């Protein structure tokens, strides 16, 4: 008899908890939602966050506030995200740098594996290996031959030694056995400009940044870093076709602080997918550069997160860059 009463009481408690969770999900959002990003206003991730936020606000009936926390190798923005309340009103629009930092810094004031949960995948950002039009190479084989014939005389521009483009540059050096001068800049714009005018001759830059200059004939694309063709550069081969281990792309993902209610994570995942399928949103994202392949599920994104950890660790080790 006592056992029956205990079971009945337990079932009643579970039913009440389920009802409370459902009510919570239905009531959310009851106030504005915040998207934190680690880039300045006007940068690609900022534009994407505001585009998604504007469309999501229509669905939710609440505004989405984008909060910029730029600089410091994305660290200030990540700190702001992990310290935010896990109440379903705080999200972090992160780039792949969130995992790259784990392998390039000796210590960080946060642990992205434990303090953040993936919510929705936004898109991938392939990079392009390009040369100044004056470089006598129209394909990868010719570029490698040119570098080997001119050891130390060719300059590669990147947006920083510890950036993804900078690490790709060093990995390219390792895989090809070539010698060249790596010129790191503070950001992508200066390196692109110097390559276009010939002060540097080769550069690894995002497809977003490269495409308009390639179309204008100011840069000659040699290879892309993704295994799939890059929109607008379908005839440019992948580095992976020559070097099977060379497949690295930037990416954008929406995270939430660990402990955010699972039902809200699922709701945001579903609503982001709905927004990304809107034709005009897809077009605008295409113009910004990300290749949209689906938002994934919270479970599949956790697996992606783990795989990217291993990929970045391999890249850092191959380049010989020591954590600082």
Token pair for residue 227? 């295994």
Pairing of strands 249-257, 90-95: antiparallel
What residues make up the domain containing 52? 31-124+250-319
| Shared domain check, 135 and 103 | no
| Shared domain check, 142 and 56 | no
With respect to residue 141, please indicate whether it lies within any of the assigned structural domains: yes
With respect to residue 234, please indicate whether it lies within any of the assigned structural domains: yes
| Shared domain check, 110 and 84 | yes
| Shared domain check, 171 and 269 | no
Number of domains composing the chain: 2
pTM of the model: 0.83
| Shared domain check, 211 and 169 | yes
Per-residue pLDDT of the chain (324 residues), as tens digits, is: 545 554 455 455 444 544 444 444 568 999 999 999 998 888 888 999 999 999 999 999 999 999 999 988 889 999 999 999 999 999 999 998 899 899 999 999 999 999 999 999 999 889 999 999 999 999 999 999 999 999 999 999 998 888 889 999 999 999 999 999 999 998 788 999 999 999 999 999 988 889 889 999 999 999 999 988 888 899 999 999 999 989 999 999 999 999 999 999 999 999 999 999 998 998 888 777 788 888 999 889 999 999 998 988 988 998 888 888
The dihedral through the CA atoms of 32, 33, 39, 41 has a sign that is negative
| Shared domain check, 226 and 195 | yes
Domain boundary among 241, 266, 290: 241
With respect to residue 10, please indicate whether it lies within any of the assigned structural domains: no
Q: How many CA atoms lie within 13 A of 107 on its CB side?
A: 1
d(CA 233, CA 219) in angstroms, rounded, equals: 13
With respect to residue 20, please indicate whether it lies within any of the assigned structural domains: no
Task: Give me the CATH number covering residue 162.
Answer: 3.40.190.10
With respect to residue 291, please indicate whether it lies within any of the assigned structural domains: yes
| Shared domain check, 163 and 86 | no
With respect to residue 50, please indicate whether it lies within any of the assigned structural domains: yes
Q: For the chain, what is the radius of gyration of the CA atoms?
A: 23
Task: Give me the CATH number covering residue 281.
Answer: 3.40.190.150
| Shared domain check, 137 and 221 | yes
Domain boundary among 175, 209, 241: 241
Domain boundary among 241, 276, 297: 241
| Shared domain check, 132 and 120 | no
With respect to residue 9, please indicate whether it lies within any of the assigned structural domains: no
* SS3 labels along 238-270: EHHHCCCCCCCEEEEEEEEECCCCHHHHHHHHH
With respect to residue 80, please indicate whether it lies within any of the assigned structural domains: yes
Contact 37, 69 (CB under 8 A): yes
């Amino acid at each position: 008899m006592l056992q029956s009463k205990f079971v009945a009481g337990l079932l009643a408690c579970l039913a009440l908890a389920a009802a409370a969770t459902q009510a919570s999900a239905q009531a959310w959002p009851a106030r504005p939602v915040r998207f934190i990003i680690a880039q300045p206003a006007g940068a690609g991730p900022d534009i994407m966050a505001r585009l998604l936020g504007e469309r999501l606000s229509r669905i939710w009936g609440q505004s989405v506030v984008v909060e910029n926390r730029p600089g410091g190798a994305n660290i200030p923005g990540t700190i702001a995200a992990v310290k935010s309340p896990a109440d379903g009103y705080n999200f972090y629009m992160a780039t792949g740098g969130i995992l790259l930092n784990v392998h390039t810094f000796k210590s960080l004031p946060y642990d992205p594996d434990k303090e953040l949960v993936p919510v929705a995948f936004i898109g991938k950002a392939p990079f392009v290996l390009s040369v100044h039009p004056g470089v006598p190479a129209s394909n990868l084989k010719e570029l490698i031959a040119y570098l080997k014939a001119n050891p130390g005389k060719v300059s590669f521009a990147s947006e920083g030694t510890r950036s993804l483009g900078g690490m790709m540059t060093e990995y390219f050096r390792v895989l090809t056995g070539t010698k060249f001068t790596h010129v790191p800049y503070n950001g992508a714009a200066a390196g692109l400009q110097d390559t276009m005018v010939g002060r540097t001759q080769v550069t690894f830059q995002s497809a977003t940044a490269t495409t308009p200059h390639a179309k204008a004939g100011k840069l000659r694309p040699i290879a892309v870093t993704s295994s799939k063709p890059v929109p607008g550069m379908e005839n440019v081969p992948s580095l992976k076709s020559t070097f099977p281990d060379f497949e690295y792309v930037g990416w954008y993902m929406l995270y939430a602080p660990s402990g955010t209610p699972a039902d809200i994570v699922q709701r945001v995942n579903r609503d982001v997918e709905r927004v990304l399928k809107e034709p005009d949103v897809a077009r605008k994202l295409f113009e910004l550069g990300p290749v949209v392949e689906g938002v994934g599920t919270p479970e599949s994104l956790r697996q992606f997160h783990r795989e990217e950890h291993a990929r970045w660790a391999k890249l850092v080790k191959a380049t010989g860059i020591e954590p600082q």
